């Protein structure tokens, strides 16, 4: 049985470049075991088997230093520990990717929802929304509050928001009737008890809509809601929550899209 293989043969067989094999040789990770009378260096079958392990370890991002230790001096228990650590790293990365995918899915859903419901009005149950008002407006404390909200695994879709006092719909004046806030949504009521330090918005019956603004919420931007409320003699029973859900930028002009829930009797 043939037991001598030139670098070109090994490169083709294992699907790795000659430069990679030369690097493994130069860095003492794995050298060809045989030097022929002609001066050529040859890999043996055992070398090829070891190289296949090296390639597999690199594919799972085990460091060159660790691979060198594994190939040259490593017991089964030591190898098991290296692989257990790598398995743990992979599990953590999977969790992070799942979180990232969820965030992407939420953004995509908000865009689809905005396209479908812009300036349309429906009567729905509200989700469970927890929020903290920003008494001093947006300042350095805002980032800390945002970070705190994001630290709760069960608090979803954390975003900048506004609380619109119910008095606004009576006097039609934004000034002093809108307060900035940070809010998030809880989808499982089991976690409500963990958020008692924050205000909770949950109503069985709400006017729900999405509207757009250029800078801030104005009387004009939600006038269509006030007309609907007045025209149908609807009684508002609490403050409303308006959440910034997406945006677009055309010709250097930014438009924000706001999702609002107005609690009604």
pLDDT score at 175:
66
Residues of the chain with pLDDT under 50: none
Cβ proximity of 162 and 177 under 8 Å: no
Say if 2 falls within a structural domain. no
User: Which ranges in the chain belong to alpha helices (H)?
Assistant: 7-14, 18-26, 45-59, 64-72, 76-117, 140-151, 168-171, 223-231
pLDDT score at 138:
67
- Tokens 């043969």 appear where? 9
Same-domain status, 123 and 253: yes
Task: Examine the fold and report which residue of 74, 100, 129 is the final residue of a domain before the chain moves on.
Answer: 74
pLDDT score at 119:
94
Same-domain status, 141 and 237: yes
Cβ proximity of 133 and 179 under 8 Å: yes
CA-based nearest residue to 208, from 263, 248, 162 = 263
Q: What is the dihedral of CA 26, 28, 32, 38, to 10 degrees?
A: 50
Say if 37 falls within a structural domain. yes
CATH number of the structural domain spanning residue 162 = 3.20.80.10
Say if 254 falls within a structural domain. yes
pLDDT score at 170:
78
CA-based nearest residue to 164, from 147, 152, 181, 150 = 181
Same-domain status, 201 and 127: yes
Same-domain status, 59 and 91: no
Same-domain status, 84 and 189: no
What SS3 state is found at 38?
coil
Measure CA 197 to chain center.
25
Residues of the domain holding 85: 80-117
Neighbours of 258 (CB within 10 A): 21
Cβ proximity of 150 and 158 under 8 Å: yes
Instruction: Say how far apart CA 53 and CA 132 lie, in whole Å.
Output: 54
Written as six digits, the tokens of 120 are 């349309």
Task: Decide: residue 79, CB within 10 A, 0-12 exposed, 13-18 middle, 19+ buried.
Answer: middle
């Amino acid at each position: 049985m043939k037991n001598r293989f030139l670098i070109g043969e090994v490169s083709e067989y294992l699907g790795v470049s000659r430069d990679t094999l030369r690097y493994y040789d130069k860095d003492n990770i794995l050298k060809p075991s045989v030097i022929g009378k002609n001066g050529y260096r040859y890999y043996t079958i055992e070398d090829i088997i070891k190289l296949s392990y090296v390639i597999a370890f690199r594919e799972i991002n085990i460091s060159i230093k660790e691979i060198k230790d594994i190939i040259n001096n490593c017991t089964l228990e030591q190898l098991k520990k290296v692989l257990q650590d790598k398995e743990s790293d992979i599990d953590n990365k999977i969790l992070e990717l799942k979180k990232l995918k969820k965030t992407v899915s939420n953004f995509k859903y908000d865009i689809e929802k905005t396209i479908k419901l812009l300036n349309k009005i429906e009567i729905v149950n509200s989700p469970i929304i927890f929020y903290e008002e920003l008494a001093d407006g947006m300042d350095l404390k805002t980032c800390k509050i945002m970070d705190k909200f994001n630290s709760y695994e069960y608090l979803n879709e954390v975003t900048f928001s506004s609380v619109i006092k119910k008095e606004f719909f009576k006097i039609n004046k934004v000034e002093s009737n809108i307060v900035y806030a940070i809010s998030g949504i809880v989808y499982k009521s089991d976690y409500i008890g963990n958020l008692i330090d924050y205000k909770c918005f949950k109503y069985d019956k709400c006017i729900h809509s999405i509207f757009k603004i250029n800078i801030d919420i104005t009387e004009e931007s939600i006038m269509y809601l006030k007309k609907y409320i007045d025209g149908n003699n609807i009684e508002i029973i609490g403050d409303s929550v308006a959440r910034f859900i997406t945006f677009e930028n055309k010709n250097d002009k930014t438009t924000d899209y706001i999702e609002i829930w107005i609690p009604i009797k």
